[in-house]
A = this chain, B = another copy of it.
């Protein structure tokens, strides 16, 4: 049975590096914003990616579905909200959403499937016990 964990919102300010010649945020950069929010959430759950990689273990993305509603622009304050949907000890989905802070405008929505990978064994493994316990 699935469980859901709500992550703390992450606030992101849009800088020049994030924009493109269309005057809006380059589409692939929303994936970076989503990743920042997931990494922050993992840290809140006491997971350190720099510790895990010392044991040869990394978080890997399997699938992403993303829907773009309206563009973000330079100097926007964005709020990234994320929920973890826990399906099994080897399968998680992050449901993520980006809003402009000053309004309720949704910029984009995404669903990201994450697994945990042992680079030495060369195969997916169960998530860290600490993560499973804290969810």
A residues whose Cβ falls under 8 Å from a Cβ of B: 13, 15-17, 19-24, 26-29, 31-32, 35-36, 39-40, 43, 48-50, 53, 58, 60-68, 71, 73-75, 119
Query: Taking chain A's interface residues, is the majority helix, strand, or loop, or is none over half, making it mixed?
Result: mixed
Whether the Cβ atoms of A15 and B43 lie closer than 8 Å is no
Q: How far is the CB of A66 from chain B (nearest CB, A)?
A: 5
Chain B, Cβ-Cβ closest to A27? B61
Inter-subunit contact A32/B50 (CB<8 Å): no
**12 sample A-B contacts, Cβ–Cβ < 8 Å, listed by A number:** A13-B40, A16-B21, A16-B26, A17-B35, A21-B23, A22-B53, A27-B35, A28-B29, A48-B75, A60-B68, A63-B68, A64-B66
- The quantity of this chain's copies bound in the complex is 4
Chain B residue contacts of A19, Cβ below 8 A: 20-21
Give complex CA distance A43, B58 in Å: 29
Interface pair B73/A68, CB less than 8 Å apart: no
* Pick from B31, B48, B65, B73: contact of A28, CB under 8 Å: B31
Question: Which of A13, A23, A119 neighbours the largest number of chain B CB atoms within 10 Å of its CB?
Answer: A23
Is B67 a contact of A21 with CB atoms below 8 Å?
Answer: no
Assess A32 versus B23: contact at CB under 8 Å? Given A73-B50, A74-B49: no
How many Å lie between the Cα of A61 and that of B40 in the bound state? 27
